[in-house]
Amino acid sequence: MLEIKTATEAELPEIQRIAHQTWPITFGEILSPAQIEYMLEWMYSVPSLTEQIRDKGHVFLLIKESEEWLGYVSYELNYQAKLKTKIHKIYLLPASQGKGAGAALIRKVADIAVEAQNTALILNVNRFNKAIGFYEKMGFAIVGSEDIDIGDGFLMQDHIMEKPL
């Protein structure tokens, strides 16, 4: 049985561990090893994760089966002062993909968003990420694209996807 809980700051190392196990496999064919390393430090150092929670209003949910953490999602209600919930991150350990954990996390965020009277979920996904098909199955559609300069000569090339609630 899958269990979802709100992560505390004490669990940030667990989120960091999952990211470090997931990213090289998820992005190994899309991004250079240098960009993966840069982005992991930029987004997943404990100080960065703490800032996301304390200062940026991100909420992290962890999902587990039995006693094993499978993955996480982070979201922000009322993103950019609109009635939309932004999914900033969603990653599952490769061995846990296909168990319904990703769908369960998206459903949970959608329920929270509806409760907060938000009308859509939005997320960015790398244009070459195989997860696009999963998001489309979950009801998301591509509504735009953007290139984001993240420093050190690296660029995020993303689709913007949206799911009405």
Q: What is the pLDDT of residue 89?
A: 97
Enter the pTM of the model: 0.95
For residue 59, the enclosing domain spans: 2-164
> pLDDT at position 127, please?
96
Print pLDDT tens along the chain (165 aa): 899 999 999 999 999 999 999 999 999 999 999 999 999 999 999 999 999 999 999 999 999 999 999 999 999 999 999 999 999 999 999 999 888 999 999 999 999 999 999 999 999 999 999 999 999 999 999 999 999 999 999 999 999 999 999
How high is the pLDDT of residue 151?
A: 93
Contacts of 8 (CB under 8 A, 6+ apart): none
pLDDT at residue 98, as a whole number: 84
Q: How many domains does the chain have?
A: 1
CATH number for the domain that contains residue 155:
3.40.630.30
**What pLDDT is stored for residue 97 in this prediction?**
84
Q: Summarize pLDDT for 64-107 with one digit per residue, the tens.
A: 999 999 999 999 999 999 999 999 999 999 999 888 999 999 99
